[in-house]
């Protein structure tokens, strides 16, 4: 679920926005305290920021400039000023989009999803220790050497990685791999695990997958 941070001083508008976004299925939080906004922006783990250009104390543009020095989280500027030159400026200051008040809710949501879609590609790669796990590439890479995983191996590894350090039952793996109506030999899983282990060993993780008898497997 995507998290959105709202920075808007008009309390009515702010609450409206929060509710609109929450109803749409975003996780929306609003900054309510107007000192040290920059640090709040930096601290919050968000996927997108809605930033009012008019703020007490500060102004949105300089705030954005400062923020951009440290983060590239997408930012949509909110503005009520008619002097649109401000908007031009904010675009060159690193905003990803802008919306003029009063906002039409549908358009607002559209712009949000458009920006999120545009920036989605840069999504961070998953890591297993110092190895890059890429499901889109279908491979694991560790300092140069790459192991290509088959579909089954990838399914297993993803599941184990999601719950790294925890026990994943054989049953859970089985249901992830096969429709539970087609009956396959129990041993098929062992074999797939074994093959995955082989590839992990090639990458220098010889004992990555531990067996917990009668319980399942643990990825260290």
- Binding region for DNA (CB under 7 A): 148, 150-153, 170, 177-178, 183-188, 190-195, 197-198, 211-217
27, 57, 80, 114: which one binds a copy of itself (CB under 8 A): 114
Q: Which is nearer to DNA, 88 or 191 (CB)?
A: 191
Q: Do residues 119 and 96 touch, judged by C-beta distance below 8 A?
A: yes
Q: Report the side by side order of strands in the sheet with 3-7.
A: 27-30, 3-7, 48-52, 75-79, 97-100
CA pair distance 56, 54, nearest whole angstrom:
7
Q: What six digits make up the tokens of 102?
A: 């009063």
Q: Which is nearer to DNA, 62 or 70 (CB)?
A: 70
Q: Which of the choices DNA, a copy of itself, none does residue 106 contact, using the CB cut-off of 5 to 8 A by kind?
A: a copy of itself
Query: Among 82, 107, 93, which Cα is nearest to 51's?
Result: 93
Would you give the distance in Å from CA 82 to the centre of its chain?
35
Q: Which of the choices a copy of itself, DNA, none does residue 91 contact, using the CB cut-off of 5 to 8 A by kind?
A: a copy of itself
Q: How many CB atoms are closer than 10 A to CB 79? A: 20
Spatial neighbors of 130 by CB under 8 A, at least 6 apart, are 142, 143
Q: Which of the choices DNA, a copy of itself, none does residue 132 contact, using the CB cut-off of 5 to 8 A by kind?
A: none
Does the footprint of a copy of itself cover residue 176 (CB under 8 A)?
no
Binding site for a copy of itself (CB under 8 A): 84, 87-88, 91, 97-98, 100, 104, 106-107, 110, 113-114, 117-118, 134, 136-138, 148, 150-151, 163, 165-167, 212-215, 218
């Amino acid at each position: 679920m995507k998290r959105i941070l709202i920075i808007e001083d008009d309390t009515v508008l702010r609450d409206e926005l929060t509710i609109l976004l929450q109803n749409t299925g975003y996780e929306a939080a609003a900054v309510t305290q107007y000192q040290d906004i920059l640090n709040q922006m930096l601290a919050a783990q968000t996927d997108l920021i809605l930033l009012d250009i008019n703020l007490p104390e500060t102004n949105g543009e300089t705030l954005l400039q400062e923020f951009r020095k440290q983060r590239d989280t997408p930012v949509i500027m909110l503005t009520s000023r008619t002097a649109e030159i401000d908007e031009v400026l904010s675009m060159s200051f690193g905003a990803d989009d802008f919306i003029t008040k009063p906002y039409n809710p549908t358009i607002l949501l559209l712009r949000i999803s458009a920006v999120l879609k545009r920036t989605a590609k840069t999504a961070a790669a998953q890591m297993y220790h110092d190895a890059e796990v890429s499901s889109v590439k279908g491979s694991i890479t560790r300092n140069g050497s790459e192991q290509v995983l088959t579909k089954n191996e990838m399914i297993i590894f993803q599941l184990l990685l999601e719950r790294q350090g925890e026990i994943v039952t054989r049953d859970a793996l089985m249901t992830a791999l096969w429709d539970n109506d087609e009956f396959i030999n129990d041993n098929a899983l062992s074999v797939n695990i074994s093959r995955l282990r082989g590839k992990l060993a090639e990458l220098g993780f010889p004992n990555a997958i531990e067996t917990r008898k009668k319980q399942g497997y643990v990825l260290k």
